[in-house]
Amino acid sequence: MTIALHVDNLTAGLGELEILKGVDLEVPFGEIHALMGPNGSGKSTLCHVLMGKDEYYANGSAHVAGTQVIGMPVDERARAGLFESFQYPVEIAGVALGELVAEMREVADDPNEFDKRVARQAEALGMDRFMDRPVNMGLSGGEKKRSEMFQLAIAQPKVAILDEIDSGLDIDAVREVAELVESLRSPDMGVLIITHYSRILRYMKPDRIHIMLSGRIVRSGGPEIAEELEASGYDDIRRQVVAAEADGSAGAVT
């Protein structure tokens, strides 16, 4: 059986700057994984490289439901089943959310099913009043994330990557977003959420947590990792990695 997202020895960067230094990651269908790591460790870069942002070079492989997406244009990756919820969703003046949704319908596999999802999710997420407003313009942090979640739900991807889905949100909004993600959990999708805070993990049950340091996933494990992090920050992990490398044992500590 294929897994939702399978990243294998992915290296990527900008010109001379290597940011991802060999990322390995597996997210099975039906699971929610969390990716954590300090600022600048490469989490957003991983999202963009998976989605195909063209300023980055990339080597290695990333399979989305069995399709190798590295090298594909962005829209083909989306149609292969990948969805990225942005850390900073852009504001697009003059383009109503409803217009974007109409364009998404044009490229949907089954427009009728798509319409049903739009109706259902607009109702569930209270999005109707945003349909005539320009995409993300003037929306609060929480509303932007809700709009991203709405688009995720109607796109019905095989793999959803949510970059900093909880940053800039108040406690209630964090819970709301977490519950939304849980409610979208499905045997047909794998989810990778990126977060700085274990707070959001109180409201959802990630199956696994991965820690990224300097462009590599250095540790993967169950929810207990978040608690460790909460207690001692990234320093302990950093020390363990340095020690392990000194031992000559290359690769991640698991």
Partner 1 sequence: MFPLDRSTFDRAQSVRPQWRQPSRSAAFDVFEKLSMPDPKEEAWRYVDLDFDLADYSVPADAGDRVDRPDVIRNALGTTAGVAMVRNGVTTIESSTADVVFARLADAGPEHGTLILDAIPSDLDIFSAAHHAFGTDGVLLSVDRPISEPFFIDIEASTPGSVSFPRVAMTVADNASASVVLNCRSPHDTDLVVVPQIEAELGDGARLEVTILQNWGYQTKAIGQSRVVVGRDATIRISEVGLGADLSRLHLTVDLEGRGSSSEILGVYFGERDQTLDYRYFMNHIGQNTSSEMFLKGAVEDEALSVFTGMIRIEKDAQRTNAHQTNRNLILSDGAAAQSVPNLEILANDVRCGHGSTMGPLDPEHRYYLMSRGLDRERADRLQVRGFFEEVIARLPRQEITEPLRDWFNTKFVTAQAEGRVQ
Ligand X SMILES: Nc1ncnc2c1ncn2[C@@H]1O[C@H](COP(=O)(O)OP(=O)(O)OP(=O)(O)O)[C@@H](O)[C@H]1O
Residues that bind ligand X (CB under 6 A): 14, 19, 37, 39-45, 55
Residue 10's DSSP bridge partners are 23
Does residue 44 touch Mg ion according to CB under 5 A?
yes
Residue 219 tokens, joined: 């540790």
Query: How many angstroms separate the CA atoms of 228 and 35, rounded?
Result: 15
x/- binding map, residues 3-42, to Mg ion, per CB under 5 A?
----------------------------------------
- 240: helix, coil or strand? helix
Q: Compute the Cα dihedral for 213, 216, 218, 223 and give only its sign.
A: positive
- Give 34's Cβ-side CA count (13 Å radius): 29
The C-alpha angle with vertex 92 and arms to 88 and 96, in degrees rounded to 5, equals 120
The single residue among 32, 58, 65, 78 that binds partner 1, judged by CB under 8 A, is 78
Nearer to ligand X, 16 or 109 (CB): 16
Q: Where are the beta strands (DSSP E) in 87-185?
A: 92-96, 134-135, 159-162
The single residue among 2, 14, 66, 107 that binds partner 1, judged by CB under 8 A, is 107
Q: What residues contact residue 185 under an 8 Å CB cut-off, 6+ apart?
A: 30, 32, 191
Least spacing, CB of residue 54 vs partner 1, in Å: 8
Does residue 84 touch partner 1 according to CB under 8 A?
yes
Nearer to ligand X, 37 or 52 (CB): 37
Residue 9 tokens, joined: 């020895």
Nearer to ligand X, 13 or 97 (CB): 13
User: Per CB under 8 A, which of residues 28..57 are in contact with partner 1?
Assistant: 51, 53-54
Query: How many angstroms separate the CA atoms of 21 and 24, rounded?
Result: 10
Least spacing, CB of residue 70 vs Mg ion, in Å: 20
The partner in contact with residue 151, picked from ligand X, partner 1, Mg ion, none with C-beta cut-offs of 5 to 8 angstroms by kind, is: partner 1
Q: Report the greatest alpha carbon distance in the chain.
A: 59
Least spacing, CB of residue 41 vs ligand X, in Å: 4
Least spacing, CB of residue 186 vs Mg ion, in Å: 26
Least spacing, CB of residue 87 vs ligand X, in Å: 6
